[in-house]
């Protein structure tokens, strides 16, 4: 499409850009040099005369370093490419083009927000290792959000009480008047002014926020922005200043971005961090589409309690929260909210890693939801207990614990919470230890969904003699507690290319004596570096469960007697063929089975020695 004369565009001055004009601007963005030449011909200095004024109606407050018409996701069409359309004006030329009014009441949408936040993250990707750079950017995004919200609340109080000074004085006297009180030096306007000693200033700022907001202690203040290693700063002031200035481009206040959109963008960053972090990423993040499927299966109801024993960044709790809103929410101002008559979920989680715990708390605050997140080792010190010391019980349990975790047998044998009543798991894999903990935390009519490796539903089946995992699985099947097993595709989870499963346990099964097995091995789209589920895949897998139906090539319904005939092997691929080649045992599964066999051999040898000793033959 030919680019029209610049003066023609200037004279048109449309109030709202048409699709044709947007395409024109996109072409102009690719020809910035041509625009510079025009301005120079007019005798103007481009750096002096051009500055971005708004991004889809949002004013920019930070310094401008380059002429920019648009940035965002290029290659996805005009509407998404120009998600962050800048308008511009010339200081001395009132006739210069204003393509979008700076007071336009439009908010940042998800693609624009994601693009902007990822650009900020990329500023520090080089100087800081992948596992660490999320620790720098996420607290700053959170600080900016709470600071901008605080400014919005002060502005509203100013309208009510007359002056900003009076509003600030009232908020200072009673912090309950605002969500979070932000001290002077931690307010974003002050943060953005810093050019020297930025690391020390940021560290002092987040600690000041934590001091006056006890709920944020151990959440926003865990990162030392001035930290050193081997005598060198981990992130120097220049990079920190650049990061702050990029974050300074847009506001994150109440009227600037919907909380659900900001929450999605925050999870987008977590996903990008996980993709870059590799195998350790599975410790803090479950693929969001897997979390959505689990929330649909669990179907939490108003006022119910939901617990995640290994909550990571609280993604599974958030999915449960959003499921309730999606089902019972009422639309208003562009997003759904629960009406007053619908009780929100009571959300609980425990996380062992302090930095991940902090991300979980921030994630919950970003989504504007109340969640009680505890720090500690759930297996050795569960934090949610009753007055009598027994485990607290919840209506729904959702979790993705570390697969094949290793614990000493003494942990199970000396347990004081009555969790491992159906058998002691092998020391080589705690999968059925976690399942028993979750089951013990489940209310009488409760339901749980847990992500595990595929071996959890098949290891030991077909072996002669006893097998700890098979025997525990047998006990759960015979008690009619296992409701469904959903096999997920390969290369979906961040910590492994192997497939995983979602196991559903239900204390009040609507189909007693039956188990649904879903083979979702083909329900995915190829991605880089990880595969992913599209909406159609999630729907197909969810419908198989919700409609409780056997679908050729997807699902089968077996009885507990059928499971017994197959030695309690509950692998969906055993019952549902999707045309794949013969199943190959993954290496990590083979290692677990080998260690379990060695453990059983050692136990048998000890028993043999005991018997021989009694007979005097030892």
Count of the separate structural domains present in the chain: 3
Is residue 426 over pLDDT 90?
A: yes
* pLDDT confidence of residue 581: 53
The verdict on 22 and 102 lying in the same domain is yes
523 assigned to some structural domain: yes
Domain end among 106, 139, 167: 106
**65-74, 427-436, 491-500, 596-605: which range is least confident on average?**
65-74
The verdict on 91 and 129 lying in the same domain is no
Is residue 362 over pLDDT 70?
A: yes
293 assigned to some structural domain: yes
CB 191, CB 202: distance < 8 Å? yes
- Measured torsion, CA atoms of residues 579, 581, 583, 587, in degrees rounded to the nearest 10: -140
The string over 571-593, giving b where at least 16 C-beta atoms fall within 10 Å of a residue's C-beta and e elsewhere, is bbbbbbeeeeeeeeebeebeebb
Mean pLDDT calculated for residue range 407-414 = 94
CA 184 to chain centre: 31
CATH of the domain at 225: 1.20.1260.30
541 assigned to some structural domain: yes
At residue 389's C-alpha, the angle toward residues 385 and 392, to 5°, is: 25
Highest-scoring range by mean pLDDT, 58-62, 225-229, 277-281, 314-318: 314-318
What percentage of the chain reaches a pLDDT higher than 90?
57
Q: Please confirm whether the linkage preceding 529 is cis (ω < 30° from 0).
A: yes
Domain end among 257, 274, 304: 257
* pLDDT confidence of residue 262: 82
The verdict on 375 and 512 lying in the same domain is yes
pTM recorded for the entire structure: 0.75
Containing structural domain, residue 538: 287-584
The verdict on 129 and 66 lying in the same domain is no
The encoded tokens of residue 143 equal: 């600080």
What are the angstrom distances between the C-alpha of 282 and each of 93, 118, 308, 310, 488? 55, 20, 15, 11, 15
CA 507 to chain centre: 28
**Separation of alpha carbons 610 and 605, rounded Å:** 9
Length of the chain: 618
At residue 318's C-alpha, the angle toward residues 316 and 321, to 5°, is: 115
160 assigned to some structural domain: yes
The verdict on 394 and 515 lying in the same domain is yes
CB 123, CB 246: distance < 8 Å? yes
DSSP letters along 531-574, please? Answer: -B--HHHHHHHHHHHHTT---TTTEEEEEHHHHHHTTT---HHH
Is residue 88 over pLDDT 60?
A: no
**Separation of alpha carbons 492 and 501, rounded Å:** 11
Bridge-based pairing state of the strands 500-506 and 442-453: antiparallel
CB 321, CB 345: distance < 8 Å? yes
* pLDDT confidence of residue 124: 80
The verdict on 94 and 140 lying in the same domain is no
Mean pLDDT calculated for residue range 303-330 = 95
The verdict on 185 and 291 lying in the same domain is no
617 assigned to some structural domain: no
366 assigned to some structural domain: yes
Q: Who contacts 115 (Cβ-Cβ below 8 Å, separation ≥6)? A: 71, 72, 73, 83, 84
* pLDDT confidence of residue 284: 63
How confident is the model over 120-174, as pLDDT tens digits?
Answer: 888 887 666 655 777 888 899 999 999 999 999 999 999 999 999 999 999 999 9
Which residue, among 80, 204, 216, has the nearest Cα to 145 in the 3D structure? 216
CA atoms within 13 A on the CB side of 78: 12
H or E stretch including 165?
helix 164-173
CATH of the domain at 350: 3.40.50.150
Is residue 490 over pLDDT 50?
A: yes
* pLDDT confidence of residue 53: 31
Which residue, among 559, 481, 475, has the nearest Cα to 517 in the 3D structure? 559
How confident is the model over 11-51, as pLDDT tens digits?
Answer: 444 444 444 554 444 444 444 444 444 444 445 443 333 33
426 assigned to some structural domain: yes
509 assigned to some structural domain: yes
The verdict on 412 and 292 lying in the same domain is yes
How confident is the model over 238-283, as pLDDT tens digits?
Answer: 999 999 999 999 999 988 888 777 888 888 888 887 776 655 545 5
The verdict on 130 and 93 lying in the same domain is no
The verdict on 12 and 138 lying in the same domain is no
The verdict on 298 and 387 lying in the same domain is yes
Q: Where are the beta strands (DSSP E) in 402-469?
A: 442-453
The verdict on 213 and 351 lying in the same domain is no
DSSP state, residue 97: -
């Amino acid at each position: 499409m030919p680019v029209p004369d610049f003066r023609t565009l200037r004279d048109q001055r449309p109030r709202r850009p048409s699709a044709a004009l947007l395409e024109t601007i996109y072409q102009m963005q690719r020809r910035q040099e041509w625009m510079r030449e025009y301005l120079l011909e007019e005798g103007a200095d481009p750096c002096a005369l051009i500055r971005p004024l708004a991004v889809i109606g949002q004013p920019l407050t930070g310094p401008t370093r380059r002429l920019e018409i648009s940035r965002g996701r290029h290659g996805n069409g005009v509407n998404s490419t120009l998600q962050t359309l800048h308008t511009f004006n010339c200081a001395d030329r009132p006739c210069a083009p204003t393509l979008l009014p700076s007071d336009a009441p439009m908010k940042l949408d998800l693609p624009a927000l994601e693009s902007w936040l990822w650009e900020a993250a990329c500023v520090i990707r080089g100087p800081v290792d992948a596992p660490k750079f999320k620790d720098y950017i996420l607290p700053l995004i959170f600080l900016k959000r709470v600071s901008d919200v605080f400014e919005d609340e002060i502005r509203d109080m100013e309208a009510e009480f007359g002056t900003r000074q009076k509003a600030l004085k009232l908020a200072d006297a009673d912090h309950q008047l605002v969500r979070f009180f932000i001290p002077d030096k931690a307010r974003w306007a002050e943060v953005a002014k810093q050019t020297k000693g930025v690391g020390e200033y940021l560290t002092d700022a987040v600690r000041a926020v934590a001091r006056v907001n006890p709920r944020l202690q151990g959440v926003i203040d865990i990162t030392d922005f001035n930290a050193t290693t081997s005598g060198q700063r981990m992130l120097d002031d220049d990079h920190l200043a650049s990061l702050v200035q990029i974050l300074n481009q847009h506001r994150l206040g109440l009227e600037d971005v919907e909380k659900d959109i900001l929450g999605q963008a925050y999870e987008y960053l977590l996903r990008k961090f996980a993709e870059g972090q590799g195998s350790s990423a599975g410790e803090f993040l479950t693929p969001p589409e897997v979390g959505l499927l689990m929330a649909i299966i669990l179907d939490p109801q108003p006022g119910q309690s939901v617990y995640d024993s290994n909550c990571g960044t609280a993604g599974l709790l958030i999915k449960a929260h959003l499921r309730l809103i999606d089902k019972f929410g009422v639309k208003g101002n562009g997003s759904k909210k629960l009406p007053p008559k619908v009780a929100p979920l009571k959300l609980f989680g425990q996380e062992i890693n302090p930095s991940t715990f902090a991300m979980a708390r921030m994630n919950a605050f970003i989504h504007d939801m109340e969640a009680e997140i505890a720090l500690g080792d759930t297996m050795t010190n569960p934090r949610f207990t009753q007055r009598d010391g027994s485990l607290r019980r919840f209506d729904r349990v959702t979790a993705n614990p570390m697969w094949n975790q290793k614990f000493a047998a003494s942990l199970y044998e000396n347990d004081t919470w009555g969790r491992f009543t159906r058998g002691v798991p092998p020391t080589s894999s705690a999968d059925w230890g976690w399942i028993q903990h979750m089951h013990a935390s489940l209310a009488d009519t409760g339901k749980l969904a847990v992500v595990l490796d595929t071996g959890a539903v098949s290891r030991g089946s077909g072996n002669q003699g006893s097998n700890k995992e098979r025997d525990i699985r047998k006990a759960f099947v015979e008690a009619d507690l296992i409701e469904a097993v959903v096999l997920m595709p390969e290369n979906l989870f961040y910590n492994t290319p192997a497939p995983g499963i979602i196991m559903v346990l239900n204390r009040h099964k609507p189909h007693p004596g039956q188990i649904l097995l879903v083979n979702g091995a083909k329900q995915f789209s190829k991605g880089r570096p990880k595969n992913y589920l599209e909406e159609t895949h999630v729907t197909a897998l969810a419908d198989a469960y919700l409609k409780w139906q056997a679908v050729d090539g997807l699902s089968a319904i077996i009885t507990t007697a059928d499971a017994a005939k197959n030695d309690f092997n509950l692998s969906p691929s055993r019952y549902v063929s999707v045309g794949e080649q013969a199943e190959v045992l993954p290496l990590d599964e083979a290692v677990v089975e080998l260690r379990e066999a060695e453990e059983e051999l050692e136990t048998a040898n000890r028993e043999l020695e005991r018997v021989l000793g009694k007979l005097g033959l030892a």
